[in-house]
Structure 1
Amino acid sequence: MTTTALNQLPIPQHFQADRVGEVWRVPYQERAAAAEAWAKQHHLQPAAKDKTRICLMLVDVQNTFCIPEFELFVGGKSGRGAIEDNIRLCEFIYRNLGVITEIASTMDTHTATQIFHPVFWVNDAGEHPNPMQMIQLDEVKAGIWKVNPAIAYSLAQGNYMALQQHALHYVQQLADAGKFPLTIWPYHSMLGGIGHALVSAVEEACFFHNIARHSQTRFEIKGGNPLTENYSVLRPEVLEGPDRRPIAQKNTRFIQRLLEFDVVIIAGQAKSHCVAWTIADLLTEIQSQEPALTEKVYLLEDCTSPVVVPGIVDFSQEADQAFQRFAAAGMHLVQSVDAIASWPGISL
């Protein structure tokens, strides 16, 4: 089968693979003109005319996770995981520009005082936990780690006891649900900061697609609630406080939008955390509605890497086990180098 028959396009000359691991300004006006010319040259139709509607969901492809100098660079096993993933991801977007209907990017979005950041917790010596440290249920019960009293004014109108009660309830909920213990992360994806932004090369590819296909890039914000983690864009880790009142809710609107597409392709960072959690929540929703819909989900396995911090943590095994579980449920594990039209179950 020829490249034309597979609906693949060449890579535009402006794409530079050796700059994917860097931060730079996208020249929007220049790229917009090039995208319009590209669409005309390759006879690309507006996305609204697509017979097979394909959504590419990018999970947290942000500087904070994807650039080596930033806070939570996902190096994976190779040490360059997110960079290598994003080179393949950009090339995938450009080659399949004519058949991807919409790109939806999730944006991990945080402020300093949140339950998974160091300043939220203190011990009797007034020390904060270290980044990558896990807060265990027994430690909170024993008072080894407590909510920092100084943050009660900002988060609970001065009601420290309510905040402490929530913290104990929170780690209990994680344990009861069989989830990872509460991980203290470095300050990352800070709203208003450079780390929050999309990787420049990926932003450029999304913008190019937006103009060439007349398809607005969708952005889904997650993670701003100070009282819960939000690995998945579809729902936070804990929905209720100790009084059973809701503190957050699942993203029903986005779930339904995803399921309206004929094909949903998922890539991003990190495979072991935000990607796996998002897919798991999507699978739960599908199984509660119509299990056969799992067959419309395709996971770009070569465009995602697990969290690996040499000598500290390695979530590679957990990530691989999660993806095998998704495949067993009916989702497809695919490679970005293969044309979408060649994937099982797709007719363009």
Structure 2
Amino acid sequence: MLPIPDFFSPERVATVWRVPYQERAAQAKAWAHEYQIPPASDDRERIGLLLIDVQNTFCLPDFELYVAGAEADNQRLCRFIYQHLAHLSEIIVTLDTHIAQQIFHPLFWVNPAGEHPPPLTTITVEDVQEHRWQPNLRLYHSCLPQSSTDLMAYAQYYVSQLSAGGKFPLTIWPYHSMLGGIGHALVSVIEEACFFHTIARQQQTRIELKGTHPLTEHYSVFRPEVMTDPQGEAIAPANTALIDHLLGFDRLFIAGQAKSHCVAWTVADLLAAIQERDPHLAQKIYLLEDATSPVVVPGVVDFTETANTAFSEFAAAGMHRVTTEQPSLPMIA
């Protein structure tokens, strides 16, 4: 394994700062020369690293949807990237990307008193049917180019689809990952590591946005939670191009936040695609379990068991549950 560059400071993992690009670019070029790191285009074995939503909004304690444990996850993740820099062919990052008037944000819903639901409110089919929560009709012109009645019908349809599909019930989340805001950005130490990798390996980090459609949640990078509207028209397309790209690697490592939500749903959709094509492809997937954590809000919700159950199912299907420091890691020889 390669050493870790001197500029990496684990103490800064929970802070926001500007990456000094020109300085890091010069260091990365010198690093590649010193350790004879070839460009990624020369790799005989293509190894990918998929980082899911490693953003300030999820990873820093003062931000909106902080996942406890994310700082330690990101310390380990950075070390993993630097130590295995010469063998990681490409890094792919997903960015949860939102605006205010989305179906899982408070502005979208009102009760009979005109109040918006507080964060972590669960909205069920019965809540909509009995008018405990209704869509905010002042938004209909920007959410749907149709009538307010259509938005009312869509709200009931949407929560019904979640229930029928075995999805999480609709949760009202705090405003988070707001497009253009600092919460949307990659954690600074992760951005720095990705940039350093880009220069040293001469391979651009691939960035995938998800979650911009106002009328659906989008935990998985591959598809929205609800795919079609009541008329059967597609709400947002599935990202099959990314699935094809990821399955083109000889090995793919996956980490990010949160283990119980966006990571679990992304891996589940990837597994579904694998099982349709060739179940043996699951053996090329490695889940970095010490670089991801579940959502836990003490006294409110704890998704640890949900996350562990999902990962057990992934392993049963052939995927590997590993850690960033696992000495027997069968990846880089």
| TM-score normalised to structure 1 length | 0.94
Are 1:239 and 2:245 an aligned pair? no
Aligned position for 2:21: 28
Aligned position for 1:9: 2
Question: 1:1-348 residue pairs with structure 2 within 5 A?
Answer: 8-75=1-68, 81-157=69-145, 159-338=147-326, 342-344=328-330, 346=331, 348=333
- Structure 1 stretches of at least 4 aligned residues deviating more than 3 Å after TM superposition: none
Q: Distance in 2 between matches of 1:92 and 1:219?
A: 19
The structural deviation recorded for 1:149 is 1.1
Matched length: 333
Aligned position for 1:3: none
CA offsets, 1:106-155, max 9 Å, x none? 00000000000000000100011110111111111111110001111221
The structural deviation recorded for 1:338 is 2.6
Q: Distance in 1 between matches of 2:141 and 2:159?
A: 22
CA offsets, 1:222-252, max 9 Å, x none? 0000010000001110010011111111101
Structure 2 unpaired stretches of 5+: none
Q: Distance in 1 between matches of 2:40 and 2:163?
A: 44
8 Å contact kept, 2:51–2:255 = yes
State the AA in 2 paired with 1:168.
Answer: Q
Q: Distance in 1 between matches of 2:142 and 2:275?
A: 40
Determine helix, strand or coil for the equivalent of 2:290: helix
8 Å contact kept, 1:11–1:94 = yes
8 Å contact kept, 2:177–2:184 = yes
Q: Distance in 1 between matches of 2:82 and 2:329?
A: 17
Classify 1:43/1:88 alpha carbon distance in 2 versus 1 (closer, same or farther; 3 Å).
same
CA offsets, 1:284-332, max 9 Å, x none? 0000000000000000000000001111111011001110110011000
Q: Distance in 2 between matches of 1:192 and 1:122?
A: 26
The structural deviation recorded for 1:347 is 6.3
8 Å contact kept, 1:52–1:347 = no
Determine helix, strand or coil for the equivalent of 2:263: helix
8 Å contact kept, 2:111–2:133 = yes
What is the identity percentage for the equivalent residue pairs of Structure 1 and Structure 2? 59
State the AA in 1 paired with 2:25.
Answer: A
Determine helix, strand or coil for the equivalent of 1:209: helix
CA offsets, 1:9-62, max 9 Å, x none? 000000000000000000000000000000000000000111110110000000
CA offsets, 1:91-110, max 9 Å, x none? 00000000000000000000
